Amino acid sequence: MERGKMAEAESLETAAEHERILREIESTDTACIGPTLRSVYDGEEHGRFMEKLETRIRNHDREIEKMCNFHYQGFVDSITELLKVRGEAQKLKNQVTDTNRKLQHEGKELVIAMEELKQCRLQQRNISATVDKLMLCLPVLEMYSKLRDQMKTKRHYPALKTLEHLEHTYLPQVSHYRFCKVMVDNIPKLREEIKDVSMSDLKDFLESIRKHSDKIGETAMKQAQQQRNLDNIVLQQPRIGSKRKSKKDAYIIFDTEIESTSPKSEQDSGILDVEDEEDDEEVPGAQDLVDFSPVYRCLHIYSVLGARETFENYYRKQRRKQARLVLQPPSNMHETLDGYRKYFNQIVGFFVVEDHILHTTQGLVNRAYIDELWEMALSKTIAALRTHSSYCSDPNLVLDLKNLIVLFADTLQVYGFPVNQLFDMLLEIRDQYSETLLKKWAGIFRNILDSDNYSPIPVTSEEMYKKVVGQFPFQDIELEKQPFPKKFPFSEFVPKVYNQIKEFIYACLKFSEDLHLSSTEIDDMIRKSTNLLLTRTLSNSLQNVIKRKNIGLTELVQIIINTTHLEKSCKYLEEFITNITNVLPETVHTTKLYGTTTFKDARHAAEEEIYTNLNQKIDQFLQLADYDWMTGDLGNKASDYLVDLIAFLRSTFAVFTHLPTSYSKTLKQDLRC
């Protein structure tokens, strides 16, 4: 029973499943019934399912048949209508075919025209695209052509800018073209070419300024000279009519000796294409005579190319080499002033260029670099001047050299270079100048003493008297009252020596000008040099004359008289120095002149020479005398030898009458003793 019930339950369940599958087949698209059928065949009841399917098919056929029977008349009517439609459709087909044939015939020309239009539009589109591409390429080609033109005309910095625009702006837009690739590959070569050409221009510039640095320096020093002349004019204008005018007039005698070699009297020339200009015309600036554009271009080019440091190192290295060449003095520089002038011009020209580069470029040279070069230049220049000036024996040349050094220092000081060491060196040259002056005046004094007649100066008119008094400070009331002709007590060498001492003082003063010394320092320097002139040079000259073998008593007596008057004139020389230096007489540190000692020593030497000569003469008389010591006749007649000796002594004492009264008495008493 139970098995029967179970079988019956399974049968019902299978039937229900088959029914579900059939409904699913009926309601599902035929493309998707595969899984459904597979589920049937996967089971074991597919036979029963086939039976169930056949039963369902038969049921549907019966329903179809019923449906057809119900709609049969409508179907017949539809067939009849369809047959009618077929005839009309045939007519429509014929009309469509005829219309199509006509349309094909008529549209053939249109198709040809449309094909031509298509080709035209295609060509137009291609042309437009080509124009667009050409418009895109033309700026590149124009820029490249511009670049070539700039390279050809040596406009390298604009060429570099053009190259930069070409590389970063224009070429990326047309980078897929072959010619652009060629340009891109050529850009590094163009850069190197620009660098090489700009460096070549820089080398030409360096060579040019090396050759013309003396012209640049000459113009700069001429500017400084003109500025100093203007400053002197401004300073002298308020002093017109003052006692300083006498100082200017006092220089006239000495200036005649040195005027021919003074740097102020020589013509200065321009630089390069600049012609010589008159003194009253404006001198072009030294920097205006040099075209610095190669330096600026090369600096900009190397900066743009990222090689600025390389350029700076190269420029500084080359300029250091040129500085060493400029600072090397010629071996014969000491022979003429032109040698010194050319040497200074080159140094000034070098530093004028460097100063301009310092102020017109940003970092190409800096102050530390300039100071380093200047320190080297200063040490080498001072060493060269010390060496070469030591060979100088002409005081005029030394004075001109001093003026040139002052102008050299003033010029460089305008450009901000410290020049104190140059002025310190000038103080050394001042001592050498004094030595050369002493040597020169030794010759002058020697000529004066050798050419003097050692006789009182005779005057026959008032004009001659005033002329002598104007040359030498002499006052004698008794002599003034005497009628003409009359004689001065001294010989001609007194006013000549006095005037030459004043000329020596003028010469010393000339060297002291423009050295930035105080009046006291100038006064002290002049007095020391004058003391050397008196105590060494003039004293030696007088001693040489006194010790001369053929000197006579008359000359010795006249020397005593002359030195007496020269000794008295020392106070006038001190006043003269005070006047020309504008130092107050009561200044504590004022050095006194030692003329009194000089002339006293000369007189003592003359006296000794007189004593010696007289004693020698007396000894000669006594030695030559041949006395008869055994004679018995003692007449009143003196010996001939004694008569000659007495006559000699009388003539000798007659010479002493020219001496001053007090001095003559003292000398006679000494001789009697």
Pair (547, 590) in one structural domain: yes
Q: Which residue has the higher pLDDT, 192 or 379?
A: 379
C-alpha closest to that of 493 among 438, 447, 533, 461: 447
Band of the pLDDT at 124, cuts 50, 70, 90?
Answer: very high
Pair (509, 556) in one structural domain: yes
List the CATH number of the domain containing 651.
1.10.357.30
- Which 3 state secondary structure label does DSSP give 396? helix
Pair (384, 442) in one structural domain: no
The answer for residues whose C-beta is within 8 angstroms of residue 323's C-beta and 6 or more apart is 350, 373, 376, 377
What pLDDT does residue 570 have?
87
Pair (372, 451) in one structural domain: no
Q: Which residue has the higher pLDDT, 647 or 446?
A: 446
Token representation of residue 565: 């008057």
What pLDDT does residue 379 have?
92
What pLDDT does residue 627 have?
54
Band of the pLDDT at 478, cuts 50, 70, 90?
Answer: confident
Tell me: pLDDT of 194 over 70: yes
What pLDDT does residue 372 have?
92
- Please indicate, yes or no, if residue 504 is contained in any of the structural domains: yes
Q: What is the average pLDDT across 416-423?
A: 90
Q: Tell me 533's DSSP state.
A: I
The answer for residues whose C-beta is within 8 angstroms of residue 491's C-beta and 6 or more apart is 452, 453, 454, 455, 456, 457, 558, 562
- Please indicate, yes or no, if residue 249 is contained in any of the structural domains: no
Tell me: pLDDT of 254 over 70: no
What pLDDT does residue 495 have?
93
Pair (612, 516) in one structural domain: yes
C-alpha closest to that of 601 among 538, 551, 656: 538
What pLDDT does residue 10 have?
63
Q: What is the average pLDDT across 148-156?
A: 80
- Which 3 state secondary structure label does DSSP give 569? coil
For the chain, percent of residues with pLDDT exceeding 70: 78
The residue written with tokens 């360096």 in the block is 206
The answer for residues whose C-beta is within 8 angstroms of residue 442's C-beta and 6 or more apart is 537, 540, 541
Tell me: pLDDT of 250 over 50: no
- Please indicate, yes or no, if residue 185 is contained in any of the structural domains: yes
- Please indicate, yes or no, if residue 50 is contained in any of the structural domains: no
Tell me: pLDDT of 156 over 60: yes
Band of the pLDDT at 276, cuts 50, 70, 90?
Answer: very low
Angstrom distance (rounded) from CA 18 to CA 32: 17
User: Any idea which of 11-15, 106-110, 365-369, 555-559 has the lowest mean pLDDT?
Assistant: 11-15
Q: Environment class of residue 20 by beta-carbon count within 10 Å: exposed (0-12), middle (13-18) or buried (19+)?
A: exposed
The residue written with tokens 């004043």 in the block is 502
Angstrom distance (rounded) from CA 336 to CA 343: 12
- Please indicate, yes or no, if residue 63 is contained in any of the structural domains: no
Pair (570, 500) in one structural domain: yes
Most confident of 119-123, 189-193, 234-238: 119-123
Q: Dihedrals φ, ψ of 458, to 5°?
A: -85, 140
Q: Environment class of residue 505 by beta-carbon count within 10 Å: exposed (0-12), middle (13-18) or buried (19+)?
A: buried
User: Any idea which of 59-73, 424-438, 505-519, 650-664 has the lowest mean pLDDT?
Assistant: 650-664
Tell me: pLDDT of 308 over 80: yes
pLDDT in tens, 23-42: 777 776 666 666 766 777 76
What pLDDT does residue 504 have?
93
Pair (353, 450) in one structural domain: no
Residue 438 near residue 536, CB atoms below 8 Å: yes
Tell me: pLDDT of 594 over 80: no
Residue 538 near residue 434, CB atoms below 8 Å: no
Residue 381 near residue 249, CB atoms below 8 Å: no
Which spans in 390-482 are helix H? Answer: 395-414, 420-451, 462-471, 477-481
What pLDDT does residue 271 have?
37
- Please indicate, yes or no, if residue 652 is contained in any of the structural domains: yes
Q: Which residue has the higher pLDDT, 637 or 142?
A: 142
For the chain, percent of residues with pLDDT exceeding 90: 12
Token representation of residue 334: 């000491």
What pLDDT does residue 582 have?
83
Tell me: pLDDT of 357 over 80: yes
Going by their DSSP bridges, the two strands 458-459 and 486-487 should be labelled as antiparallel
- Please indicate, yes or no, if residue 302 is contained in any of the structural domains: yes
What pLDDT does residue 131 have?
87
- As a whole number, the mean pLDDT across the chain is 78
Pair (497, 524) in one structural domain: yes
Pair (362, 442) in one structural domain: no
Angstrom distance (rounded) from CA 202 to CA 192: 15
What pLDDT does residue 127 have?
92
What pLDDT does residue 505 have?
92
Q: What is the average pLDDT across 420-424?
A: 89
Q: Environment class of residue 414 by beta-carbon count within 10 Å: exposed (0-12), middle (13-18) or buried (19+)?
A: middle
Q: What is the average pLDDT across 8-24?
A: 75
Angstrom distance (rounded) from CA 68 to CA 80: 17
What pLDDT does residue 196 have?
83
Angstrom distance (rounded) from CA 216 to CA 210: 10
Amino acid symbol at 37: L
Pair (449, 370) in one structural domain: no
Domain boundary among 417, 445, 465: 417
Q: Which residues are paired to 511 by β-bridges?
A: none
Tell me: pLDDT of 210 over 80: yes
Residues in the chain: 673
Residues of the chain by 3-state class (helix, strand, coil), percent to 5? 80, 0, 20
Band of the pLDDT at 306, cuts 50, 70, 90?
Answer: confident
Q: Tell me 459's DSSP state.
A: E
Token representation of residue 403: 């003026």
What pLDDT does residue 277 have?
41
Count of domains for the chain: 2
pLDDT in tens, 501-525: 999 999 999 888 888 888 888 888 8
Pair (447, 316) in one structural domain: no
- Which domain covers residue 333, as residue numbers? 177-231+288-417
User: Any idea which of 376-380, 404-408, 573-577, 618-622 has the lowest mean pLDDT?
Assistant: 618-622
Domain boundary among 366, 391, 417: 417
Pair (531, 571) in one structural domain: yes
- Please indicate, yes or no, if residue 130 is contained in any of the structural domains: no
Q: Which residue has the higher pLDDT, 249 or 217?
A: 217
pLDDT in tens, 260-272: 333 333 333 233 4
Angstrom distance (rounded) from CA 145 to CA 152: 10
What pLDDT does residue 142 have?
83
Q: What is the average pLDDT across 78-106?
A: 84
Amino acid symbol at 500: Q
Token representation of residue 29: 């698209």
